[in-house]
Amino acid sequence: MMWIDSDIGFHPDSVDQLRSHELPIVCGIYPQKGKRALACHIMPGMPTMQFGKRGNLMELLYAGTGFLLIRREVYLTMQRKLKLPVCNERFGHAMFPFFLPMVRPIEEGYWYLAEDFCRSVGTTATRSFR
C-alpha cells in the first residue's frame, strides 16, 4: 500500500523506485510543512544523509507517512503478532484495526504516533535517498 499525502510533490518514477527495493517498509523523504526540517528522524549515531546518486538506503528512527510504501506482509505480521481482533464480520467483510494509535513516553511528555507499529512487530522503517 502506497501512502501519499495530497500536498507531496514527486516524480512518478519515485513510486517504482521505492517498490524496487523490495523492503517491507520504505519511504521517500520530504520537508515538513512550514519548517526547515525533514519529515523523518535518523537513528542516533548515524552519519549525515546523502541525497541523489550517492544516496542509499538508511534505517530510520521515525518516518513520516507522506510518501510511504508498506507491503502486505507488514499488515499480516501486525495482525498475527498484535493479535488484532476481527471487526465487523457481520457486514460480510472482516476488518482489522491496523491503525490503533501508540503512545510512546518521551522526555517532554508523550509522542502519539499512529504509524509506529513497525517497531512493535519487528520491522524497521527504511528510506531511500535517491
Angle at 94 between CA 90 and CA 121, to 5 degrees: 145
What tens-digit pLDDT sequence spans the chain (130 residues)?
Answer: 999 999 999 999 999 999 999 999 999 989 888 899 988 888 888 877 778 777 788 888 888 899 999 999 999 998 899 888 887 777 778 788 777 666 566 676 666 565 555 666 666 666 565 5
How does strand 25-28 pair with strand 125-128? parallel
Query: DSSP strand E in 36-77: where?
Result: 40-42, 57-63, 67-70
Residue 70 is predicted with a pLDDT of 95
CB 83 within 8 A of CB 121: no
pLDDT at residue 77, as a whole number: 93
List phi, psi (to 5°) of 80. Answer: -75, -55
Question: How many structural domains compose the chain?
Answer: 1
Look up the domain containing 40 and give its range.
2-128
